[in-house]
Structure 1
Amino acid sequence: MKIIMNKKYWALLLLVAMSFIVPKPKITVWMIGDSTMANKLEKAFPETGWGMEFGHFFDQSVTIDNCALNGRSTKSFINEKRWDPILDNLKEGDYVFIEFGHNDEKIDKPGVGTTIPEFKANLVKFVLETREKKGIPVLLTPITRRSFKNGVLTDTHGKYAETTIFVADSLKVPLIDMLEKSKKYVSGLGDETSKQLYNYVDSGNVNYPNGKKDDTHFSPAGAKKMAGLAVEGIKELKLGLAERLLKG
Protein backbone atom coordinates (compact mmCIF):
# COMPACT_ATOMS: atom_id res chain seq x y z
CA MET A 1 0.00 0.00 0.00
CA LYS A 2 2.82 2.33 0.90
CA ILE A 3 4.54 1.71 -2.43
CA ILE A 4 1.36 2.45 -4.33
CA MET A 5 0.90 5.71 -2.40
CA ASN A 6 4.50 6.69 -3.18
CA LYS A 7 3.95 6.08 -6.86
CA LYS A 8 0.84 8.23 -6.81
CA TYR A 9 2.70 10.91 -4.91
CA TRP A 10 5.53 11.10 -7.42
CA ALA A 11 3.12 11.00 -10.34
CA LEU A 12 1.28 13.95 -8.82
CA LEU A 13 4.52 15.84 -8.30
CA LEU A 14 5.51 15.20 -11.92
CA LEU A 15 2.15 16.46 -13.12
CA VAL A 16 2.48 19.64 -11.06
CA ALA A 17 6.03 20.21 -12.29
CA MET A 18 4.98 19.78 -15.91
CA SER A 19 2.27 22.40 -15.45
CA PHE A 20 4.99 24.95 -14.69
CA ILE A 21 7.06 24.20 -17.81
CA VAL A 22 7.08 27.30 -19.97
CA PRO A 23 6.57 26.44 -23.65
CA LYS A 24 9.20 27.64 -26.08
CA PRO A 25 8.21 30.86 -27.82
CA LYS A 26 7.38 30.24 -31.46
CA ILE A 27 9.86 31.47 -34.03
CA THR A 28 10.12 31.52 -37.80
CA VAL A 29 13.08 30.41 -39.89
CA TRP A 30 12.97 32.45 -43.08
CA MET A 31 14.83 30.89 -46.01
CA ILE A 32 16.07 32.99 -48.92
CA GLY A 33 17.94 31.57 -51.84
CA ASP A 34 17.61 29.91 -55.22
CA SER A 35 16.17 26.76 -56.79
CA THR A 36 18.38 24.39 -54.81
CA MET A 37 16.50 25.50 -51.68
CA ALA A 38 13.09 26.44 -53.11
CA ASN A 39 9.67 24.82 -52.81
CA LYS A 40 8.68 23.14 -56.10
CA LEU A 41 5.46 23.02 -58.03
CA GLU A 42 3.95 19.58 -58.65
CA LYS A 43 4.92 19.81 -62.34
CA ALA A 44 8.60 19.80 -61.35
CA PHE A 45 8.52 16.65 -59.19
CA PRO A 46 10.58 14.66 -58.39
CA GLU A 47 12.82 17.77 -58.30
CA THR A 48 12.91 18.84 -54.65
CA GLY A 49 14.48 21.84 -52.94
CA TRP A 50 16.25 21.06 -49.69
CA GLY A 51 14.16 23.71 -47.94
CA MET A 52 11.13 21.46 -48.46
CA GLU A 53 12.72 18.83 -46.20
CA PHE A 54 14.20 21.21 -43.62
CA GLY A 55 11.07 21.64 -41.50
CA HIS A 56 10.83 17.91 -40.79
CA PHE A 57 13.80 18.20 -38.42
CA PHE A 58 12.16 20.68 -36.02
CA ASP A 59 9.55 20.64 -33.29
CA GLN A 60 6.26 22.54 -33.43
CA SER A 61 7.79 25.73 -32.03
CA VAL A 62 9.45 26.38 -35.40
CA THR A 63 7.74 27.61 -38.55
CA ILE A 64 9.70 27.33 -41.78
CA ASP A 65 8.90 30.05 -44.31
CA ASN A 66 10.76 29.05 -47.45
CA CYS A 67 10.93 32.14 -49.67
CA ALA A 68 13.66 30.81 -51.97
CA LEU A 69 12.79 30.84 -55.67
CA ASN A 70 14.07 29.29 -58.87
CA GLY A 71 16.48 31.42 -60.84
CA ARG A 72 17.05 34.07 -58.21
CA SER A 73 20.28 35.71 -57.22
CA THR A 74 20.96 38.20 -54.45
CA LYS A 75 20.40 40.94 -57.05
CA SER A 76 17.09 39.75 -58.47
CA PHE A 77 15.77 38.78 -55.03
CA ILE A 78 16.29 42.37 -53.89
CA ASN A 79 15.25 44.10 -57.13
CA GLU A 80 12.01 42.11 -57.35
CA LYS A 81 11.14 43.35 -53.84
CA ARG A 82 11.08 39.80 -52.46
CA TRP A 83 13.22 40.75 -49.49
CA ASP A 84 10.93 43.59 -48.38
CA PRO A 85 7.97 41.54 -47.05
CA ILE A 86 10.34 39.22 -45.19
CA LEU A 87 11.96 42.18 -43.48
CA ASP A 88 8.54 43.67 -42.69
CA ASN A 89 7.42 40.45 -40.96
CA LEU A 90 10.69 39.47 -39.32
CA LYS A 91 10.38 39.25 -35.52
CA GLU A 92 12.99 39.35 -32.80
CA GLY A 93 14.51 35.89 -32.41
CA ASP A 94 13.62 34.75 -35.93
CA TYR A 95 16.34 33.27 -38.12
CA VAL A 96 17.14 34.10 -41.74
CA PHE A 97 19.01 31.39 -43.66
CA ILE A 98 20.75 33.01 -46.64
CA GLU A 99 22.08 30.81 -49.46
CA PHE A 100 22.89 32.27 -52.86
CA GLY A 101 25.56 31.85 -55.52
CA HIS A 102 24.25 29.53 -58.22
CA ASN A 103 22.65 32.34 -60.20
CA ASP A 104 24.85 35.22 -59.04
CA GLU A 105 27.57 33.45 -61.03
CA LYS A 106 25.65 34.01 -64.30
CA ILE A 107 27.26 37.34 -65.13
CA ASP A 108 26.07 37.01 -68.74
CA LYS A 109 22.54 37.69 -67.44
CA PRO A 110 22.48 41.38 -66.40
CA GLY A 111 19.31 41.11 -64.28
CA VAL A 112 20.62 38.14 -62.36
CA GLY A 113 24.40 37.90 -62.40
CA THR A 114 26.40 39.88 -59.87
CA THR A 115 30.01 40.88 -59.68
CA ILE A 116 31.85 39.77 -56.55
CA PRO A 117 31.65 43.28 -55.01
CA GLU A 118 27.89 43.36 -55.72
CA PHE A 119 27.43 39.90 -54.25
CA LYS A 120 29.31 40.91 -51.13
CA ALA A 121 27.27 44.12 -50.74
CA ASN A 122 23.99 42.23 -51.11
CA LEU A 123 24.94 39.65 -48.49
CA VAL A 124 25.95 42.45 -46.12
CA LYS A 125 22.57 44.10 -46.72
CA PHE A 126 20.70 40.90 -45.77
CA VAL A 127 22.80 40.46 -42.64
CA LEU A 128 22.67 44.03 -41.34
CA GLU A 129 18.96 44.50 -42.02
CA THR A 130 18.18 41.20 -40.32
CA ARG A 131 20.13 42.30 -37.28
CA GLU A 132 18.35 45.67 -37.25
CA LYS A 133 15.12 43.73 -36.68
CA LYS A 134 16.87 41.67 -33.96
CA GLY A 135 16.76 38.58 -36.14
CA ILE A 136 19.60 36.07 -36.46
CA PRO A 137 21.21 35.78 -39.90
CA VAL A 138 22.90 32.54 -40.94
CA LEU A 139 24.99 32.46 -44.11
CA LEU A 140 25.32 29.29 -46.20
CA THR A 141 27.67 28.68 -49.08
CA PRO A 142 26.06 27.31 -52.27
CA ILE A 143 25.71 23.53 -52.50
CA THR A 144 27.93 21.70 -54.95
CA ARG A 145 26.84 20.77 -58.43
CA ARG A 146 27.47 17.19 -59.49
CA SER A 147 30.41 18.18 -61.69
CA PHE A 148 32.79 15.23 -61.98
CA LYS A 149 35.74 15.34 -64.36
CA ASN A 150 37.78 12.18 -64.70
CA GLY A 151 36.22 10.90 -61.50
CA VAL A 152 37.06 14.02 -59.50
CA LEU A 153 34.39 16.43 -58.24
CA THR A 154 35.22 19.97 -59.35
CA ASP A 155 34.15 23.31 -57.90
CA THR A 156 31.91 25.50 -60.08
CA HIS A 157 31.22 28.32 -57.61
CA GLY A 158 34.56 30.12 -57.74
CA LYS A 159 34.82 33.17 -55.52
CA TYR A 160 31.12 33.30 -54.63
CA ALA A 161 31.52 30.70 -51.90
CA GLU A 162 34.73 32.37 -50.73
CA THR A 163 32.93 35.71 -50.56
CA THR A 164 30.15 34.22 -48.44
CA ILE A 165 32.77 32.92 -46.02
CA PHE A 166 34.53 36.30 -46.01
CA VAL A 167 31.32 38.18 -45.16
CA ALA A 168 30.50 35.67 -42.41
CA ASP A 169 33.96 36.08 -40.90
CA SER A 170 33.97 39.88 -41.21
CA LEU A 171 30.55 40.39 -39.64
CA LYS A 172 30.76 37.47 -37.20
CA VAL A 173 27.79 35.71 -38.79
CA PRO A 174 27.15 32.00 -38.19
CA LEU A 175 28.25 30.13 -41.32
CA ILE A 176 27.24 26.71 -42.58
CA ASP A 177 29.66 25.72 -45.31
CA MET A 178 27.21 23.75 -47.42
CA LEU A 179 29.65 23.67 -50.32
CA GLU A 180 32.32 21.90 -48.32
CA LYS A 181 29.84 19.56 -46.63
CA SER A 182 28.09 18.62 -49.88
CA LYS A 183 31.37 18.25 -51.80
CA LYS A 184 32.66 15.83 -49.19
CA TYR A 185 29.48 13.76 -49.29
CA VAL A 186 28.99 13.76 -53.07
CA SER A 187 32.66 13.05 -53.71
CA GLY A 188 32.49 10.14 -51.27
CA LEU A 189 29.61 8.60 -53.20
CA GLY A 190 31.46 8.95 -56.49
CA ASP A 191 30.43 9.85 -60.02
CA GLU A 192 27.79 7.20 -60.64
CA THR A 193 26.26 6.65 -57.19
CA SER A 194 25.88 10.39 -56.56
CA LYS A 195 23.27 10.60 -59.34
CA GLN A 196 20.72 9.34 -56.82
CA LEU A 197 20.98 12.69 -55.00
CA TYR A 198 20.14 14.73 -58.09
CA ASN A 199 17.17 15.03 -60.40
CA TYR A 200 17.95 12.09 -62.67
CA VAL A 201 14.70 10.75 -64.11
CA ASP A 202 14.11 7.93 -66.59
CA SER A 203 12.07 8.58 -69.73
CA GLY A 204 8.33 8.05 -69.40
CA ASN A 205 7.98 10.13 -66.25
CA VAL A 206 4.77 12.19 -66.27
CA ASN A 207 6.72 15.43 -65.80
CA TYR A 208 9.74 14.42 -67.88
CA PRO A 209 8.56 12.25 -70.80
CA ASN A 210 12.05 12.29 -72.31
CA GLY A 211 13.81 11.82 -69.01
CA LYS A 212 16.05 14.26 -67.18
CA LYS A 213 19.73 14.47 -66.25
CA ASP A 214 20.11 17.38 -63.87
CA ASP A 215 23.36 17.86 -61.95
CA THR A 216 22.20 20.93 -60.00
CA HIS A 217 18.77 20.17 -58.52
CA PHE A 218 17.93 17.42 -56.08
CA SER A 219 15.86 14.29 -55.87
CA PRO A 220 13.75 13.87 -52.70
CA ALA A 221 16.55 11.77 -51.20
CA GLY A 222 19.14 14.38 -52.14
CA ALA A 223 17.07 17.22 -50.70
CA LYS A 224 16.66 15.33 -47.43
CA LYS A 225 20.40 14.71 -47.24
CA MET A 226 21.23 18.37 -47.90
CA ALA A 227 18.72 19.48 -45.26
CA GLY A 228 20.42 17.06 -42.90
CA LEU A 229 23.80 18.64 -43.65
CA ALA A 230 22.33 22.05 -42.78
CA VAL A 231 21.04 20.60 -39.49
CA GLU A 232 24.50 19.18 -38.86
CA GLY A 233 25.83 22.72 -39.25
CA ILE A 234 23.27 24.08 -36.79
CA LYS A 235 24.48 21.58 -34.18
CA GLU A 236 28.14 22.35 -34.85
CA LEU A 237 27.51 26.07 -34.42
CA LYS A 238 25.54 25.42 -31.22
CA LEU A 239 22.83 27.79 -32.37
CA GLY A 240 19.84 28.25 -30.09
CA LEU A 241 17.85 26.75 -32.94
CA ALA A 242 19.45 23.40 -32.13
CA GLU A 243 17.31 23.18 -28.99
CA ARG A 244 14.23 23.02 -31.21
CA LEU A 245 15.37 20.01 -33.22
CA LEU A 246 13.42 16.80 -32.85
CA LYS A 247 15.20 14.16 -30.82
CA GLY A 248 16.53 11.04 -32.43
Structure 2
Amino acid sequence: MNRHRFLKTATCLSLTSLLAFTSPPNKITVYLIGDSTMSIKEKKAYPEAGWGMPFVYFFDESVTVDNRAMNGRSTRTFIEENRWQPISDNLREGDYVLIQFGHNDEVPTKKSYTTEADFRANLIRFITESRTKKANPVLITPVARRSFDPAGKIQGTHTAYSELVRTVAREYKTPMIDLDTQSQELLQQFGPETSKLLFLQLAPGEHPNYPDGKEDNTHFSEIGARKIAELVLANIKSLNLELADRIVKKEAK
Protein backbone atom coordinates (compact mmCIF):
# COMPACT_ATOMS: atom_id res chain seq x y z
CA MET A 1 0.00 0.00 0.00
CA ASN A 2 1.52 3.33 -0.99
CA ARG A 3 1.78 6.19 1.50
CA HIS A 4 -1.10 8.21 -0.03
CA ARG A 5 -3.48 5.26 0.08
CA PHE A 6 -2.37 4.44 3.63
CA LEU A 7 -3.09 7.97 4.86
CA LYS A 8 -6.50 8.01 3.15
CA THR A 9 -7.44 4.67 4.71
CA ALA A 10 -6.22 5.76 8.14
CA THR A 11 -8.22 9.00 7.92
CA CYS A 12 -11.41 7.12 7.00
CA LEU A 13 -10.92 4.70 9.86
CA SER A 14 -10.33 7.58 12.29
CA LEU A 15 -13.52 9.34 11.20
CA THR A 16 -15.50 6.11 11.44
CA SER A 17 -14.18 5.51 14.95
CA LEU A 18 -14.96 9.08 15.99
CA LEU A 19 -18.53 8.82 14.75
CA ALA A 20 -18.96 5.44 16.43
CA PHE A 21 -17.91 6.81 19.81
CA THR A 22 -19.65 10.21 19.62
CA SER A 23 -21.84 10.54 22.68
CA PRO A 24 -25.56 11.02 22.11
CA PRO A 25 -26.87 14.47 23.08
CA ASN A 26 -27.50 14.94 26.78
CA LYS A 27 -31.09 14.40 27.77
CA ILE A 28 -32.89 17.60 28.67
CA THR A 29 -36.30 18.66 29.92
CA VAL A 30 -38.37 21.39 28.34
CA TYR A 31 -40.73 22.85 30.94
CA LEU A 32 -43.86 24.64 29.77
CA ILE A 33 -45.26 27.15 32.26
CA GLY A 34 -48.36 29.17 31.52
CA ASP A 35 -52.14 29.13 31.42
CA SER A 36 -55.04 27.21 29.86
CA THR A 37 -54.05 28.05 26.27
CA MET A 38 -50.94 25.88 26.81
CA SER A 39 -52.09 23.30 29.36
CA ILE A 40 -53.02 19.61 29.19
CA LYS A 41 -56.80 19.14 29.24
CA GLU A 42 -58.88 16.62 31.14
CA LYS A 43 -61.01 14.26 29.07
CA LYS A 44 -64.18 16.07 30.14
CA ALA A 45 -62.89 19.19 28.34
CA TYR A 46 -62.23 17.54 24.95
CA PRO A 47 -62.10 18.60 22.16
CA GLU A 48 -60.52 21.61 23.89
CA ALA A 49 -56.73 21.41 23.64
CA GLY A 50 -53.78 23.46 24.82
CA TRP A 51 -50.94 23.97 22.36
CA GLY A 52 -48.56 22.23 24.74
CA MET A 53 -50.32 18.93 24.03
CA PRO A 54 -49.22 18.45 20.37
CA PHE A 55 -45.91 20.21 21.14
CA VAL A 56 -44.58 17.10 22.92
CA TYR A 57 -44.43 15.14 19.65
CA PHE A 58 -41.99 17.45 17.87
CA PHE A 59 -38.79 16.26 19.56
CA ASP A 60 -36.53 13.23 19.62
CA GLU A 61 -35.88 10.88 22.54
CA SER A 62 -33.30 13.26 24.07
CA VAL A 63 -36.12 15.66 25.07
CA THR A 64 -38.78 15.31 27.73
CA VAL A 65 -41.50 17.96 27.51
CA ASP A 66 -42.93 18.57 30.99
CA ASN A 67 -46.10 20.64 30.63
CA ARG A 68 -46.80 22.37 33.97
CA ALA A 69 -49.17 24.98 32.53
CA MET A 70 -52.45 25.20 34.42
CA ASN A 71 -55.89 26.60 33.63
CA GLY A 72 -56.60 30.03 35.06
CA ARG A 73 -53.10 30.75 36.33
CA SER A 74 -51.20 34.00 36.17
CA THR A 75 -47.54 34.56 36.94
CA ARG A 76 -48.55 35.50 40.47
CA THR A 77 -50.80 32.54 41.23
CA PHE A 78 -48.39 30.11 39.54
CA ILE A 79 -45.75 31.23 42.04
CA GLU A 80 -48.08 31.53 45.07
CA GLU A 81 -49.44 28.00 44.56
CA ASN A 82 -45.88 26.63 44.66
CA ARG A 83 -45.95 25.54 41.03
CA TRP A 84 -42.74 27.35 40.10
CA GLN A 85 -40.43 26.44 42.99
CA PRO A 86 -40.35 22.67 42.31
CA ILE A 87 -39.43 23.42 38.68
CA SER A 88 -36.70 25.84 39.75
CA ASP A 89 -35.33 23.29 42.24
CA ASN A 90 -35.14 20.55 39.60
CA LEU A 91 -33.74 22.50 36.66
CA ARG A 92 -30.54 21.12 35.17
CA GLU A 93 -27.98 22.61 32.85
CA GLY A 94 -29.31 22.67 29.28
CA ASP A 95 -32.99 22.47 30.20
CA TYR A 96 -35.48 24.96 28.74
CA VAL A 97 -38.32 26.91 30.34
CA LEU A 98 -40.96 28.22 27.92
CA ILE A 99 -42.88 30.98 29.69
CA GLN A 100 -46.29 32.14 28.41
CA PHE A 101 -48.53 34.14 30.71
CA GLY A 102 -50.74 37.22 30.37
CA HIS A 103 -54.30 36.02 29.79
CA ASN A 104 -55.10 35.85 33.49
CA ASP A 105 -52.58 38.44 34.71
CA GLU A 106 -54.16 41.28 32.73
CA VAL A 107 -57.82 41.11 33.83
CA PRO A 108 -58.49 43.28 36.92
CA THR A 109 -61.75 41.47 37.73
CA LYS A 110 -60.03 38.08 38.03
CA LYS A 111 -58.59 36.74 41.28
CA SER A 112 -55.45 35.96 39.29
CA TYR A 113 -54.92 39.62 38.37
CA THR A 114 -51.29 40.71 38.50
CA THR A 115 -50.23 44.34 38.30
CA GLU A 116 -47.94 45.30 35.44
CA ALA A 117 -45.08 45.85 37.91
CA ASP A 118 -45.55 42.44 39.49
CA PHE A 119 -45.96 40.74 36.10
CA ARG A 120 -42.63 42.20 35.04
CA ALA A 121 -40.96 41.16 38.32
CA ASN A 122 -42.31 37.62 38.02
CA LEU A 123 -41.01 37.23 34.47
CA ILE A 124 -37.60 38.43 35.63
CA ARG A 125 -37.68 35.89 38.46
CA PHE A 126 -38.38 33.05 36.00
CA ILE A 127 -35.47 34.21 33.84
CA THR A 128 -32.90 34.73 36.59
CA GLU A 129 -33.67 31.54 38.51
CA SER A 130 -33.55 29.52 35.29
CA ARG A 131 -30.17 30.98 34.39
CA THR A 132 -28.83 30.34 37.87
CA LYS A 133 -29.30 26.64 37.08
CA LYS A 134 -27.77 27.14 33.60
CA ALA A 135 -31.16 26.46 32.03
CA ASN A 136 -32.54 28.41 29.07
CA PRO A 137 -35.59 30.64 29.57
CA VAL A 138 -37.69 31.58 26.54
CA LEU A 139 -40.36 34.28 26.88
CA ILE A 140 -43.60 34.01 24.88
CA THR A 141 -46.17 36.76 24.50
CA PRO A 142 -49.76 35.65 25.30
CA VAL A 143 -51.45 33.94 22.37
CA ALA A 144 -54.22 35.95 20.66
CA ARG A 145 -57.92 35.62 21.27
CA ARG A 146 -60.27 35.39 18.32
CA SER A 147 -61.51 38.98 18.21
CA PHE A 148 -62.43 40.65 14.91
CA ASP A 149 -63.84 44.13 14.40
CA PRO A 150 -66.98 44.64 12.22
CA ALA A 151 -64.77 45.10 9.16
CA GLY A 152 -63.18 41.68 9.68
CA LYS A 153 -59.83 42.94 11.02
CA ILE A 154 -58.25 41.05 13.90
CA GLN A 155 -57.96 43.03 17.14
CA GLY A 156 -55.25 42.71 19.74
CA THR A 157 -56.43 42.07 23.30
CA HIS A 158 -53.09 41.78 25.13
CA THR A 159 -51.42 45.04 24.14
CA ALA A 160 -49.97 46.13 27.50
CA TYR A 161 -48.90 42.72 28.80
CA SER A 162 -47.44 41.58 25.49
CA GLU A 163 -45.34 44.74 25.40
CA LEU A 164 -44.12 44.00 28.92
CA VAL A 165 -42.91 40.59 27.74
CA ARG A 166 -41.09 42.19 24.80
CA THR A 167 -39.48 44.80 27.06
CA VAL A 168 -38.25 42.25 29.60
CA ALA A 169 -36.90 40.08 26.76
CA ARG A 170 -34.89 43.04 25.40
CA GLU A 171 -33.61 44.14 28.79
CA TYR A 172 -32.58 40.65 29.89
CA LYS A 173 -31.41 39.50 26.45
CA THR A 174 -33.81 36.58 26.54
CA PRO A 175 -35.07 34.70 23.47
CA MET A 176 -38.66 35.75 22.81
CA ILE A 177 -41.45 34.32 20.70
CA ASP A 178 -44.00 36.99 19.79
CA LEU A 179 -46.93 34.60 19.72
CA ASP A 180 -49.45 37.41 20.17
CA THR A 181 -48.46 39.07 16.90
CA GLN A 182 -47.95 35.85 14.97
CA SER A 183 -51.20 34.22 16.10
CA GLN A 184 -53.07 37.41 15.17
CA GLU A 185 -51.57 37.10 11.70
CA LEU A 186 -52.66 33.46 11.55
CA LEU A 187 -56.23 34.34 12.54
CA GLN A 188 -56.33 37.13 9.97
CA GLN A 189 -55.28 34.66 7.27
CA PHE A 190 -58.13 32.34 8.27
CA GLY A 191 -60.64 35.21 8.54
CA PRO A 192 -63.61 35.76 10.87
CA GLU A 193 -65.53 32.62 9.90
CA THR A 194 -62.91 30.02 9.06
CA SER A 195 -60.90 30.91 12.19
CA LYS A 196 -63.73 29.41 14.26
CA LEU A 197 -62.27 26.02 13.32
CA LEU A 198 -59.22 26.83 15.46
CA PHE A 199 -61.24 27.39 18.62
CA LEU A 200 -63.69 25.54 20.81
CA GLN A 201 -66.73 26.33 18.71
CA LEU A 202 -69.44 23.63 18.84
CA ALA A 203 -73.10 23.53 17.88
CA PRO A 204 -75.64 22.11 20.36
CA GLY A 205 -75.47 18.32 20.28
CA GLU A 206 -72.23 18.25 18.31
CA HIS A 207 -70.16 16.80 21.16
CA PRO A 208 -71.28 14.92 24.30
CA ASN A 209 -69.04 17.03 26.54
CA TYR A 210 -70.91 20.15 25.42
CA PRO A 211 -74.56 19.18 24.84
CA ASP A 212 -75.60 22.83 24.73
CA GLY A 213 -72.79 23.76 22.36
CA LYS A 214 -69.86 26.08 23.01
CA GLU A 215 -68.68 29.41 21.66
CA ASP A 216 -65.18 29.99 23.01
CA ASN A 217 -62.80 32.46 21.38
CA THR A 218 -59.90 31.86 23.77
CA HIS A 219 -59.39 28.09 23.98
CA PHE A 220 -58.34 25.96 21.06
CA SER A 221 -59.70 23.00 19.17
CA GLU A 222 -57.23 20.21 18.41
CA ILE A 223 -56.41 21.73 15.02
CA GLY A 224 -56.01 25.17 16.57
CA ALA A 225 -53.64 23.84 19.24
CA ARG A 226 -51.56 22.17 16.55
CA LYS A 227 -51.36 25.35 14.47
CA ILE A 228 -50.16 27.35 17.48
CA ALA A 229 -47.66 24.65 18.45
CA GLU A 230 -46.29 24.79 14.90
CA LEU A 231 -45.79 28.55 15.26
CA VAL A 232 -43.79 28.00 18.44
CA LEU A 233 -41.73 25.30 16.72
CA ALA A 234 -40.98 27.58 13.77
CA ASN A 235 -39.68 30.21 16.19
CA ILE A 236 -37.45 27.69 17.96
CA LYS A 237 -35.84 27.11 14.56
CA SER A 238 -35.62 30.78 13.56
CA LEU A 239 -34.10 31.74 16.92
CA ASN A 240 -31.40 29.11 16.34
CA LEU A 241 -31.92 27.61 19.78
CA GLU A 242 -29.94 24.45 20.50
CA LEU A 243 -33.33 22.82 21.06
CA ALA A 244 -33.92 23.01 17.30
CA ASP A 245 -31.24 20.34 16.82
CA ARG A 246 -33.45 17.92 18.75
CA ILE A 247 -36.51 18.22 16.53
CA VAL A 248 -37.57 14.89 15.07
CA LYS A 249 -36.05 14.53 11.63
CA LYS A 250 -38.22 13.10 8.88
CA GLU A 251 -36.71 10.02 7.29
CA ALA A 252 -36.04 10.32 3.58
CA LYS A 253 -38.30 8.12 1.48
User: Could you state the TM-score of these two structures normalised by the residue count of structure 1?
Assistant: 0.92
How far has the Cα of 1:17 moved from its partner? 5.7
Secondary structure in structure 2 of the residue aligned to 1:192: helix
Secondary structure in structure 1 of the residue aligned to 2:33: strand
How far has the Cα of 1:202 moved from its partner? 2.3
Identity %: 52
> What CA deviation, in whole Å up to 9, does each residue of 1:104-152 have, x standing for no partner?
011123x410111111011011111111111100000001000011111
Alignment of 1:130-149 (within 5 A): 130-149=130-149
Name segments (4+ residues, structure 1) moved above 6 Å. 12-15
How far has the Cα of 1:16 moved from its partner? 5.4
Quick one: which amino acid aligns to residue 140 of structure 1? I
| In structure 2, C-alpha distance between the alignment counterparts of 1:174 and 1:129, rounded to whole Å | 15
Secondary structure in structure 2 of the residue aligned to 1:103: coil
| In structure 2, C-alpha distance between the alignment counterparts of 1:146 and 1:93, rounded to whole Å | 35
How far has the Cα of 1:88 moved from its partner? 1.1
Alignment of 1:214-229 (within 5 A): 214-229=216-231
The aligned counterpart of 1:115 is: 115
The question of 1:208 aligning with 2:190 is answered: no
Alignment of 1:224-243 (within 5 A): 224-243=226-245
Quick one: which amino acid aligns to residue 134 of structure 1? K
| In structure 1, C-alpha distance between the alignment counterparts of 2:133 and 2:112, rounded to whole Å | 27
| In structure 1, C-alpha distance between the alignment counterparts of 2:98 and 2:37, rounded to whole Å | 13
How far has the Cα of 1:15 moved from its partner? 7.5
Quick one: which amino acid aligns to residue 237 of structure 1? L
How far has the Cα of 1:75 moved from its partner? 0.6
Question: What is the RMSD of the two structures over their aligned residues, measured on CA atoms?
Answer: 1.6
Secondary structure in structure 1 of the residue aligned to 2:134: coil
Secondary structure in structure 1 of the residue aligned to 2:210: coil
Quick one: which amino acid aligns to residue 22 of structure 1? S
The aligned counterpart of 1:42 is: 43
The aligned counterpart of 1:30 is: 31
How far has the Cα of 1:72 moved from its partner? 0.2
Quick one: which amino acid aligns to residue 105 of structure 1? E
| In structure 1, C-alpha distance between the alignment counterparts of 2:245 and 2:232, rounded to whole Å | 15
| In structure 1, C-alpha distance between the alignment counterparts of 2:159 and 2:178, rounded to whole Å | 14
Secondary structure in structure 2 of the residue aligned to 1:208: coil
How far has the Cα of 1:18 moved from its partner? 4.9
Secondary structure in structure 2 of the residue aligned to 1:235: helix
How far has the Cα of 1:243 moved from its partner? 0.3
| In structure 2, C-alpha distance between the alignment counterparts of 1:16 and 1:239, rounded to whole Å | 29
| In structure 2, C-alpha distance between the alignment counterparts of 1:226 and 1:67, rounded to whole Å | 18
Aligned residues: 237
Quick one: which amino acid aligns to residue 160 of structure 1? Y
> What CA deviation, in whole Å up to 9, does each residue of 1:51-110 have, x standing for no partner?
00111111110000000000000010011111011111111110000000000011123x
| In structure 2, C-alpha distance between the alignment counterparts of 1:137 and 1:17, rounded to whole Å | 33
Deviates more, 1:114-123 or 1:164-173: 114-123
The aligned counterpart of 2:197 is: 196
Quick one: which amino acid aligns to residue 233 of structure 1? N
Stretches of structure 2 that go unaligned for 5 or more consecutive residues are 1-8
| In structure 2, C-alpha distance between the alignment counterparts of 1:129 and 1:143, rounded to whole Å | 24
| In structure 2, C-alpha distance between the alignment counterparts of 1:33 and 1:42, rounded to whole Å | 20
